[in-house]
Amino acid sequence: MGAQESTEEAPDNLEEGQSPGETKEELATPTRFRRRSRSEPPDPRAAEALSPTAIDLRLDEARSPANVDPRLRPPARVRASSTLALFPEEAYAESVSAVLCSKFVVVQVILNVVASIVGPIVMFGLLFAVLKQGPYDSDGPELVGVGWGSLIMSPLLIFMMMPVAMPEAVEAGWFKPIRLETCGRWRIFLPFLGTHRCWRWAPARHLCLGGLVGIVYFPSLLLIAHYVMGPTLSTRTLIWFLVCYTAALAPPVTALGCLGYAVEHNLAPTIGMMRPHKNPCIRTLKRAARAVGMYLCPCFDEPAPSPKRREPIPTGPHPHSAIRIRSPARPSDNI
């Protein structure tokens, strides 16, 4: 007697591409942002759709005159980039304040303020208490150099490793993407929120942010140092004054820098570069290496150009000789 095989009938109401254990809501969610098991391999098509080149093509298509209502004013055509739909509809933030007050941004602000206090205490102590002794002038190179250097290094160091945790933050709802049109007047004061390709490189956005914040912070630093702290500052006064300066610099830089990341055409390729892995240690190390690569190279992780198609072997006579070039023999020719 042969063995009896039991088969289970699949449900008849499944849509195309839907697995038996998958709901219709999960089917409508983009593949890159579904909750999947750690053993499930990543879909290569999802990573390709979130590549910087693919985002540029979708931006160009959205901004093309053929896809824009001709009754719109020319400046309003840029708003067509909000139709990219790179994330699920419910994942988008409704306002800029929703991004700035999100859990991910608040946690990053707290961590960076603490780091901006602990790190400068050690560094300034070595520079101004060990290697050199005070007093220092309020307009001396020590104070001016730290003031300018903080505007450059603080934005760069704050965001170097931040993309490592962004995929999980977006998936958990702690960090939400935002459409370009939702930013509104913020784009006037923060030009790095735009869709120009130069703002796609994160260090360019951060350096621009440091310059914008420095318009207010650097003159305030010099005025307070000269008229409040005195024409000369002791070693301890200079160290604590600069530590307070770097700590006060961290909140606006962190919050506005996260807003630059939250714009959908910046957040989608950033998440696409942070590849998943079932091992958390390996995943963190690989993401950290890719984050550093994104900082050092503007074209990091750009897809390689497709190889050119090889031309067929010519079968006609050679133009410069009487030798006839024949195509390689096929197995059917010997039959």
Instruction: Please check whether residue 178 is in contact with residue 96, taking contact to mean a CB–CB distance below 8 angstroms.
Output: yes
Within a domain: 217: yes
In a domain, 83, yes or no: no
pTM: 0.66
Q: Is residue 139 part of a domain?
A: yes
pLDDT for position 132: 80
Would residue 4 count as lying in a domain? Answer: no
Compute the average pLDDT of residues 175-180.
91
318 within some domain: no
Count the domains in the chain.
1
Q: In the prediction, which pLDDT does 223 show? A: 92
Look at residue 129 and tell me if it is in a domain: yes
Q: Report pLDDT for 99.
A: 94
Longest dimension (CA), the chain: 103
| 329 or 23: which leads in pLDDT | 23
Q: Report the distance separating Cα 142 and Cα 128, nearest Å.
A: 8
Q: Which is higher by pLDDT, 132 or 66?
A: 132
Please confirm whether the linkage preceding 135 is cis (ω < 30° from 0).
yes
What is d(CA 190, CA 67) in angstroms, rounded to the nearest whole number? 27
Please give the residue range of the domain that contains residue 250. Answer: 91-296
Q: How far apart are CA 166 and CA 161, in angstroms?
A: 10
Classify residue 72: in a domain, yes or no: no
Identify whether 82 is part of a domain. no
What does the pLDDT average to over 240-252? 94
Average pLDDT value over all residues in the chain: 75
Which range is least confidently modeled, 10-19, 180-189, 207-216? Answer: 10-19
- Residue 229 is predicted with a pLDDT of 84
Residue 275 has a pLDDT of 83
- pLDDT at residue 14, rounded to an integer: 59
Q: What are phi and psi of 233, to 5 degrees?
A: -125, 135
